[in-house]
Structure 1
Amino acid sequence: MKILLIQHLYFLNGIGGTEKICSILANILSANGYEVEIATNENVVGKPVFTLAKSVRVTNIYDVNLEQKEEIPLYNYKGRNPFLWIKYKIEKKYAKWYNRRLIRRMGGEDKLYQYNLRNRAIAWKRYIDQLRPNLIVTMSIGSLLEITYKNNISVPILDSVNGRPDYDYSNVLGGRKSYLVDLLTMSFSKLDGVQILFDSYREFLPDNFAGECRVITNPIEEVSDTDLVQHSNEKSRFKIVHIGRLDTACKQQHIAIDIFSNLVEKYPTWDLEFWGIGNDVERLKLQILELGLSKRIFLRGFTDDPIAKMKDADIFIFPSKYEGFGLALAEAMSVGLPSIGFATCSGVNELIKHGENGFLANDKMEMEHYLERLMNDSALRQQMGTAGNKMMRKYSLDSMAAGWLGLIHDVINKKSYG
């Protein structure tokens, strides 16, 4: 039986949670006798970052000849060269004129988007018809929209909801156009089933979804009691660590920097360390430079061994605005790090049990207060770290495998006999 996993963007070279879960799921399915292919559609040269079984095939359907009517990106020059400033000013004016003309010619921004989407959907349908899978798993509602827009796909489709469901189709996070909200919402009607991360996320599914819904959480590697961070060990320096994409709109690393900057003089043996890459690296570098803290706050870049970095730390800080699950947070808790996040952050407020394995802050001031409590108390760090490790043991690879295999079995049978 052939299963197609689709992550239409960012799978190649991607280091995020979705790419990791897609790879883990592909390996689970391959190990259980399914023929597995992962497909993407992106104009990049690269390969998957996370390990895949040799039997898993990866296909990039990108075709340079596929017609896409693209707007010209707008660029704001931030340098001091007056000649370059003039050059980019002229280019920006031209881009604005060209974009207005293109949108007007296409009948509006929504019509332009749907024109390009339809051409991509046709390419996806052609590929799917040639592959002839028995089941499709999309790794986001965006991927589902890509393959189903004005297409009739007869095989069952499941969606892996890697965030809170309403983040995928609504405008709750801001910035999403109304026409796109309508298209994404409509996509749920094409689904035979969804996987969600927490039971509380059921209430965030749209009314037009009528398929199977299963809670299947992400897997966390179990760490034994003897391999946890030992907070009683004597050391000359201590680390607060954060691991994740450098994205201040979501991950809000700038808040962690602001909080730590208020504590540096009082705690001269503590440092703040970030592991990850992303679009906001320059913004964070500038913030650190302006605070004069380049010897206390470090942007370390990409790591292929985040667990090792966590084991070398003392506290995990995770000031995200929103999450689906918070994979890095769960991994930090599994190695025995007490963690701090915001009480309003989805996913984070499911994993952190306030006062047991970490702290949930209501605002920036509270987060600073809780961070200082942990910095001052190694026994509290040990107690919360141990509690976090025990709580993470339920998120096993076996549990994820059983959940997905059961969902696939039930949906295929229902489609066959229902």
Structure 2
Amino acid sequence: MNIALLFFGIASISNVSGAEKVFVEMANRFSERGATVYTIWNDSPGVVPYYPFNSQVKQVNLGFGKIKAPVSYKVLREISKGLHLNIKNRVDQYRTDKLCQAIRKQINLSKIDVMICYEFNSIMVANQLSQEKIPVVAMCHNSVEDQIASLTTLQRKEASKVTAYQVLMPSFVDKAKKFLNTDIYCIPNVVKTIPDSFVADLSLCKKIYRIIMIGRIDCHQKRPLIAIRAFLKNASRFSNWQLHFYGPITDSEYKQKIDEYIKVHDLHHQVIYEGITDMPLNVLHNADIFAFPSAYEGFGLALAEANSVGLPAVGFAAAPAVNELIEDKVTGFLATDEDDFARKLTLLMDNRALRVQMGKAAREAMKTYSPDVVWGQWEELLQKVVHKRIDE
């Protein structure tokens, strides 16, 4: 099978974010399973992907960098937004046309069996290239509320043209059906099986115990300050506990707010920002609890990786995807608010046996998302849409 993966909604392929990781991982795994894979994105010339592709994967960077549409198109777009006019976005269409022209010059589309889109910009490109002759599968990498419900009426109409739309959690299927008129399938992210040597031994008696957070430093989705405040409410009782948080700073003002809060309230210097880690498994291996204060997720790769290493987690009951990955009182705790988050952290910090019990349950739960299971589901979906188009 010849598969084209399209990803145009990113700032750069050199980013360390989860969607870029899934993009590269999918390309590598499909190629290993015998497919010919074309990865197509647009970045500045010569930019190197943060996550490495296998040598078999055909990499196509269109090389435009940021595409600047005519000023008149931008003005019209802003006027239509202000007046809530339901008209075509000329800026998006300009970029789509430019990307499509470049792809046609570099890819023989007659050889492509199916196209997979990573976000809405790629959907527009794929639909224009396909002309309903090539099956198109779209992916939703975050919650339905964040990535589908937020589309305009015209964008939802465009998204409904795809052959199939993939979402990450079972509860997202019915939510997506409220906005899209196409087939919806649930296929989760892959969670790698972790070797026993990397599994956290929570039974050990330690001088220092660690709570870990991994995620972007931003105030809208990842919200690390909530977990920091929750930890510091009771940190004075737990002098041998520390909270280490990792991730790129995407909101410098929010990071400054975190720093100021830590300076005032972290009396025993128990909260430490570690920057970006290239070795998350090593970090998680030496941890005891995973804190995950996200407002919403599409899946929560960092949470899943922590679970697979055998760490119990604390998240929020109202957070989409988080409230499905964490089984409350089994693999961790789901909190109702910040004070409850603090209470749930304290329960785990106070009880080593509970940490061990929940950690084992969390590791077992992640087997549902093993590579063989998830890539098998993807292959089944792709075969289905390709054969459906042939039958038509």
TM-score w.r.t. length of structure 2: 0.89
Deviation at 1:275, TM superposition (A): 1.1
Deviation at 1:383, TM superposition (A): 0.6
Q: 2:226 maps to what in 1?
A: 255
2:302 alignment partner AA? A
- CA gap of 1:151–1:409, structure 2 versus 1, over 3 A, is closer
Q: 1:124 maps to what in 2?
A: 99
- What do the CA deviations read for 1:295-349 (whole angstroms, capped 9, x no partner)? 3212211112111101111110000000011111011011111100000111111
Deviation at 1:390, TM superposition (A): 0.6
1:106 touches 1:112 (CA, 8 Å); kept in 2? no
Q: 1:174 maps to what in 2?
A: none
Q: 2:260 maps to what in 1?
A: 289
Q: How does 1:153-232 map to 2 (within 5 A)?
A: 154-171=133-150, 181-207=152-178, 209-223=180-194, 227-232=198-203
Q: 1:143 maps to what in 2?
A: 122
2:226 alignment partner AA? I
SS at match of 2:47: coil
- CA gap of 1:24–1:67, structure 2 versus 1, over 3 A, is closer
Q: How does 1:6-405 map to 2 (within 5 A)?
A: 6-10=6-10, 12-43=13-44, 46-63=47-64, 67-69=68-70, 103=75, 108-109=80-81, 114-130=89-105, 131=107, 132=109, 133-148=112-127, 152=131, 154-171=133-150, 181-207=152-178, 209-223=180-194, 227-292=198-263, 293=266, 295-405=269-379
Stretch deviating more after TM superposition (281-290 or 360-369): 281-290
Stretch deviating more after TM superposition (311-320 or 124-133): 124-133
1:237 alignment partner AA? I
Deviation at 1:141, TM superposition (A): 2.9
Name structure 2 gaps, 5 residues minimum.
Answer: none
Distance 2:322 2:79 in 1: 42
1:121 touches 1:148 (CA, 8 Å); kept in 2? no
Distance 1:57 1:6 in 2: 12
Deviation at 1:162, TM superposition (A): 1.6
Stretch deviating more after TM superposition (302-311 or 337-346): 302-311
- CA gap of 1:282–1:238, structure 2 versus 1, over 3 A, is farther
Distance 2:228 2:256 in 1: 11
Distance 2:31 2:129 in 1: 31
Stretch deviating more after TM superposition (128-137 or 346-355): 128-137
Instruction: Give the length in aligned residue pairs.
Output: 381
1:334 touches 1:388 (CA, 8 Å); kept in 2? yes
2:176 touches 2:184 (CA, 8 Å); kept in 1? no
2:9 touches 2:119 (CA, 8 Å); kept in 1? no
SS at match of 1:274: strand
2:203 touches 2:356 (CA, 8 Å); kept in 1? yes
Distance 1:191 1:105 in 2: 25
- What do the CA deviations read for 1:57-99 (whole angstroms, capped 9, x no partner)? 222224369551469xxxxxxxxxxxxxxxxxxxxxxxxxxx9
Distance 1:377 1:260 in 2: 16
1:253 alignment partner AA? P
SS at match of 1:360: strand
2:77 touches 2:89 (CA, 8 Å); kept in 1? no
Distance 2:160 2:298 in 1: 22
Deviation at 1:156, TM superposition (A): 1.0
Greater CA radius of gyration, 1 or 2? Answer: 1
- CA gap of 1:414–1:113, structure 2 versus 1, over 3 A, is closer
Distance 1:274 1:105 in 2: 40
Deviation at 1:283, TM superposition (A): 2.4
1:342 touches 1:348 (CA, 8 Å); kept in 2? yes
- What do the CA deviations read for 1:117-171 (whole angstroms, capped 9, x no partner)? 1111112222343411221100123421354479845311001222233421223
1:52 alignment partner AA? F
Deviation at 1:226, TM superposition (A): 6.5
Distance 1:408 1:13 in 2: 28
SS at match of 1:119: helix
TM-score w.r.t. length of structure 1: 0.83
Deviation at 1:198, TM superposition (A): 2.1
Stretch deviating more after TM superposition (281-290 or 358-367): 281-290
2:173 touches 2:185 (CA, 8 Å); kept in 1? no
SS at match of 2:237: coil
Q: 1:95 maps to what in 2?
A: none
Instruction: Provide the identity percentage.
Output: 28
Distance 1:383 1:66 in 2: 52
Distance 1:106 1:330 in 2: 40
